[in-house]
Structure 1
Amino acid sequence: MSDPLRPRAALRTAVVWEVLQDALDRRVKATGRQALDVLDTGGGSGNFAVPVARLGHQVTVVDPSPNALFALERRAAEADVADRVRGVQGDAHGLFDVAERGGYDVVLCLCVLEYVDDPAEGVCLVVAALRPEGVLSLLAAGLGGAVLARALAGHFKEARQALDDPNGRWGDGDPVPRRFTADQLTALVEGAGLAVGAVHGVRVFADLVPGVLVDTEPGALEALLKLEEAAAELAAFHSVATQLHVLGETREATEA
């Protein structure tokens, strides 16, 4: 359930967290195990790993940054879940040097696909980490949201460039190497052998609404959060979302 006391920054993760919690709950019921094995690829300092561990699950975080892993260790200790969070240094291409192939009930691949050289290979690698009844949570940058944001900022040439560029980049100064449409992401997930359980648009409005409005108008934050959650499931808004979340499930998981 949504927590009205969550800070404004939670608008960026609320939709993904709701979907992920539901997926975890379904896997707990299907497996009969209260503690699942979760792999968080590119999990950084534990924005998702630590909350997942607080639900009682065992989480392995793979990230290339030693600094991020140090922050993860500190955050896990502060949340009293250090015994349920393990951080290891690595990346998607060398995933099975540090993680177990076919050893996880749920794999998180959040804001990673934009940075790998071969997205199709990247998705296949993380899928290979799943058990036969596993679930993949995939979050990546959306093309339409970037085009809309550049246009609303008055950068019309950059908006057009992002629209025409095969990687969805608006120029040399664009910090995101690659963006996706919902169709592209679902094709990658299906190409890796998973069924698409759901697609959600993330940050449909949050990045466009002036911060001062949300911070000063009574009740605006919670109202915006509810709007985000309602729009996330509607395909009409996927094309303008800043990010896209795809839930991929193995055939066994969909039949469970």
Structure 2
Amino acid sequence: MCLMSRRDYDNATVGRVAAARNERRPRRVILIISKTGIISERLISALEREFSWVLVEEVEQVAAACNVFAHPVSLILVDPGMIDEADERCIELLRLHPDALAAAIEPNDENLTASFLKLTRSPLVHSVLPMNLRLDTWLSVIGLMLCGGDYLPPALILDARRNGHAPGGGAKLPGAPINGTGVSELTARELQILEMVSRGLQNKLIAAEFRLSEHTVKIHLHNIITKLGAHNRTEAVARFRSLQERV
């Protein structure tokens, strides 16, 4: 007889609890407005596997998004080239989908500033969904947005702070000057999470400590790693410990 290890038992229990929770969650729609198939079928399949309570609907015209769907829309993803048209029908979209957050789909970093400039003028779109992230990070960003959280790529925020103003000449952003370690760029919550990671705690324990979802913790870690200029959490922890030793 093969006995299950404690770790396998714990993982199986967590999996069953998560599956039961997903079954109880009300169905929601992610609405993609794009003529170009900007999100691949592979990514859509991964998204629907990760969020089993989500149904993805794709439309090629903004007018087609101004409809009632089988389930409430929680997230609207808009092709950057269609943001102006979506803004023109903003009132109608918000009336039909009052609980939906809207985000611009951004295929590459070169267009981040242009997307940000559109966002500053848009009454509808306030977040950016980068398409060049690792799959687990990309899914974590989607999870954050499904919970109603706005997201801007850290590279965009750092660029704004380096220049002392928002892209395009906007108001000055808060934050200390960037130093050699990048630690001064971390928020209070990011510092708390980094300190817990440095003690060897896993994401699910950190999430429980701060009453966050694991997806949100992953987003914080992605931002921490980017701001520190590290390649992974291990390198981020090493830089954090080095700073502690110098202090």
Query: What TM bracket, shorter-length normalisation?
Result: 0.3 to 0.5
Q: Which has the higher contact order (CA 8 A, sep 6+)?
A: 1
Provide the TM-score with structure 2 as the length reference. 0.32
Whose strand proportion is higher, 1 or 2?
A: 1
Which protein is bigger by CA-based radius of gyration? Answer: 2
Provide the TM-score with structure 1 as the length reference. 0.31
